Amino acid sequence: MSGKHHNEAFVALVDASRARVEELTVQEVIAMTESDEEFVFVDVREDREFAVDFCAGALHIGKGVLERDIAKHVTDLGARVVLYCGGGYRSALAAESLQRMGYMNVASMDGGIRGWRAANGPIQTSEGT
The string of pLDDT tens digits covering residues 18-56 is 999 999 999 999 999 999 899 999 999 999 999 999 999
pLDDT mean across residues, the chain = 94
Distance of alpha carbon 95 from the chain centroid: 8
Q: Please give the CATH number for the structural domain made up of 8-119.
A: 3.40.250.10
DSSP type of residue 37: -
Report how far residue 6's alpha carbon sits from residue 8's, in angstroms, rounded to the nearest whole number: 6
* pLDDT given at position 126: 79
Residue 127 has pLDDT above 80, yes or no: no
Phi and psi torsions of 54, nearest 5°: -160, 160
